[in-house]
Structures are given as C-alpha cells and as structure tokens.
Structure 1
C-alpha cells in the first residue's frame, strides 16, 4: 500500500553565526498544502548550517512519525543542505557529516527528494526557527501555537545521532505541587567475562553474556528490588548482558522487559575488547582526543559521548512519557547511566570521568513535571554485600 505524500519545509538560524541558534520545520499534506505538523527547538550555541541540518532532521522525523511509508519532498532555502543531501556537493565539514547521516537514516533515499526554494517561500519554517530562538533567549522551551499540531514522536533508527536532550531546569518546587515524579532506578548490568579486566565493551563488540558472578549479582539486585516493591515497569538496553540482568527482576515481579535501543552502550569501535592501557598503547592520539572532547569518537566508532548524550536523552524522554509518575527499573551500561546522572545534574560532559559505577550498582533519579530532576542515589552496591 502506497504511503502518503508530504512536503517538509525546514530552516535554521543562528544569531551571531555561531551564536544562539534554533530550527523550525513544518510538514504539509502534499495534496492540500495544509500544515499537519510543526517542530522547533532552541539548540544553544551553533552555526547557521548546523541549525539548518537540525531543522531538516526534525522535519523528516515528524513526517516519519506520521507515515514511515510516505514520499517526502523536502524544500529548503539552504542551497548548501539541498545540494549536499542531493549528492551533488561533497560534505567536508566534520560537524555536517553526522547530521547528514542522521537525515539520510530517517527514510530510505528513494522516498525523499530535495528542492531549493527562495527564502520568501520558506516563511513558516523561518518563523518557527525565530520563535525557538526567542524562547531560548527567554529561558523557556518552544511551544506550538494554539491550534497548531506538534510533530508526533518518530521511531529512531538504531545507531543514529539524535536531537540534543533538554537541560534540566534549575530551581526549587514543592513536590506536592507537581504531582508524583517519574523515578528511574538505574541498574548497571552484572559482570561479564570482560568486566573484571576493565575491557572496553560497547555496542559493536562481542555482546557477551553475564558471567556466573554476573548472574549472581543480577539475582541479588532482583531480590533487593522485590523487597522494596516499588518497581512498576522494567526497561532495558538491547544488549545481552542488560537483558539478562533485567529479566532477573522482571521474573520476580511478574513484569515484561521493554527494550529501549537508546540505552545501549557507546560504540567503542577498534577499542572493543581492549583494556585502557592497550588502547592507549595502540591508539594514543585518538584516546587523548576522546578524553579531551565529548565530540571525539573512539577509533573507528560511529558515535561520540555527545551523540550518546543525545540518544540517551531522547530515550529518557520517551520512558518518562510512557511511565509518567511511575517507578521504572532502567537497566543499562556505564556510559548511558553516567550520562543520565550528569544530565540530571546539569553537569558538563567530562563529569562522566569523575563518577564510579560498579557492576550491578543502583543509581536513582526523579523527574518532575516542571522539568526539574533530582539525583537520589549513586553507585549503591549494598545489596551485593
């Protein structure tokens, strides 16, 4: 059955280039011209080109959320983005390459076409981008106009970079005024054969199973959670070691394990299976760069800590939306859990290097309806003693 036909108009802007930046995108019904979805976001400090690409990705995802089988005609006033996405111009800038890859991953290439249009014919996307920048300057999130349709959530292809997660708001509020928070009980998986040796074990490696000690740790964690009796849902990374850890608790509580791809471990590329010392000996420059910048990628990897934070933040928001006001066991890995903790604290990216996270340890974060987050527990291993 043929899908629907959409027109995506997207734009982005930066006041300063680089400077405070935002994007806007609309999805139109190709037959009627009616706007059926809008998306916009303030993205912080960025260039015009980054904002334009972010607008394109948001527009495509909004269209995908409406109909993944649709044919999409993209119209933008950015000659650069149109020519690069059409394959006529090479993408040389390192900031543009992953964004272009994100855009290409949303739909099969055969379903999308790109056309340049003058700025005066892209007024709706331009308006949304400016609304997003104005909202960011005022310290608030962009909201659609009354009667306008917000973009629907779209499924995220595995392995792609995602929109930047919103930073937690600062301030104090009485929990009674905000309703019940959504509580994440964050559980790192139990040990595998690689864990005691402190070897890199990410999403592109051997996907090891739990060791005998790891299974014991998973059962102890399950006992502790069953005794508390507060967990109402179980969500896990798709990796084998996390699924096995999650299933131990799910069996005791009579719950199903829901898989969330955004919770998978970082892709460590050529470092998979190596110790830190081995990686330092074989790839010294790459390792130093990775430790110095959240945008650097492990040798041969598809993602950085920055893109990990983006997909983890989106996964967080999906879980909160599905289980609002509930307590959720979230079983994941070192990097995603540390990232969720640092996002809750509003800490800089290098804060992940200043946290200890033991195998089968608990952390806990509560999320309130006003956007605030509260770290309640970090690296608790008392159930393993």
Structure 2
C-alpha cells in the first residue's frame, strides 16, 4: 500500500494562553485561527479531523471552510484532562507536584486528572481510525505528543523535547500495514 500524509496541528492560541487547558473549552483567538490558516496553506489534504473542544474545532472549521473540506470531530483527540489543575497557570501549582507530573505523567497525574497512559490509549484508538488518506488533525499539544509516542515509539522523556507552540504542525508520511512505517517529514513551529 502506498504512503499517505498525516498532519498533526496544534490549535491556535486561546484567549487564556499560558494555562493548563485540558477540558476547559475556551475558543482560539482570531489571531490564533489566522495562524492555523496560514500554517495549513499549501497542504494537500483530503480530510480534516479535530478535537471536539472549540479551540481546536474552530481552527479546523476555518481551514475546512477555506478548503471546502468537511470537518469530522472526535473526542479522542482531546487534550489530557488536567483535573484539579485545569485552567491554572503552572506558577499556581505546587512546583514539586508539577515537576513529578512532567517527570512521569503516568505515575504522578494531576489530582483528579487523566493518566498519561489513558491519553495514549485513546489517541492510539483515534489514530487507528484515520483512513489511509491525506488527513489534517487539529488537536492539542499533549495529544500530538501522545500520537508521536504511538506512531514513532518515543518514550515519555523524548516527547517533551518537541517544541509545539500554538499552530505548530507535525508532518508525517505513513506506510500502513502490519509493520507500519512512519517518517517525520517536517515540524513547523
């Protein structure tokens, strides 16, 4: 089977940038949406998927309207649920607990939040459902990291090495099949 492209785009800047936004459903700013539109220009895509949270869905819909491509939403593309930390700035969280989370997000999840392994499992399910066609997925930073772990085998320390600012785009070429091969073609920040 021939290769296809998978593009993973982080949503544009939300109105409350700089906070841990998991289930918080704030929209992207107009500038954030414009950044995603600019980043998507020139991509050859057949499909668009998005997280069902408005900051990702709104960016995807703007791209879809411009390109004449319908947007499919899927809650499996949501960001990690930060539980009691959701909506907080990192400075408002106990630094020891936050450091433990970044060191091992599965062993030290946010209070009442989602474990890293649960995020990875649902993202792996979402990836398995993507058909072998050129697809843009507009999603979240943690979700992109979980997808890279699933597709490329990066461990939890390696995935934090990727700088994924708002409107970042990871381009992957995928050869499907029982021994799926993945090539990172580009990272635009």
Instruction: Tell me the TM-score normalized by structure 2.
Output: 0.91
Distance 1:344 1:377 in 2: 15
Distance 1:255 1:347 in 2: 32
Distance 1:215 1:373 in 2: 28
Where does residue 201 of structure 1 map in the other structure?
21
Q: Decide which structure has the larger Cα Rg and report it.
A: 1
Where does residue 83 of structure 2 map in the other structure?
269
State whether residues 344 and 374 of structure 1, in contact with CA within 8 Å, keep that contact through their aligned partners in structure 2. Answer: no
Q: Which has the higher contact order (CA 8 A, sep 6+)?
A: 2
Matching of residue 329 in structure 1 with residue 136 in structure 2:
yes
Q: 1:358 aligns with which of 157, 165, 170?
A: 165
Distance 1:218 1:374 in 2: 23
State whether residues 242 and 332 of structure 1, in contact with CA within 8 Å, keep that contact through their aligned partners in structure 2. Answer: yes
Cα RMSD (Å): 1.6
State whether residues 335 and 352 of structure 1, in contact with CA within 8 Å, keep that contact through their aligned partners in structure 2. Answer: no
What's the CA shift for 1:345?
2.4
Distance 1:273 1:331 in 2: 20
Q: Which runs of 5+ in 2 are unaligned?
A: none
What's the CA shift for 1:294?
3.3
Distance 1:236 1:331 in 2: 5
* Residues 301-380 of structure 1 aligned to structure 2 (within 5 Å): 301=113, 303-319=114-130, 323-324=131-132, 326-368=133-175, 369=177, 370-378=179-187, 380=188
Where does residue 45 of structure 2 map in the other structure?
231
What's the CA shift for 1:287?
2.1
Deviations 1:201-253 (A, max 9, x none): 112x2x1111131122133234x1xx34x100000000001111101111122
State whether residues 189 and 331 of structure 1, in contact with CA within 8 Å, keep that contact through their aligned partners in structure 2. Answer: yes
Count of aligned positions:
186
What's the CA shift for 1:285?
4.4
* Residues 137-216 of structure 1 aligned to structure 2 (within 5 Å): 179-195=1-17, 198-203=18-23, 205=24, 207-216=25-34
For residue 209 of structure 1, give the secondary structure of its aligned residue in structure 2: coil
Where does residue 294 of structure 1 map in the other structure?
105
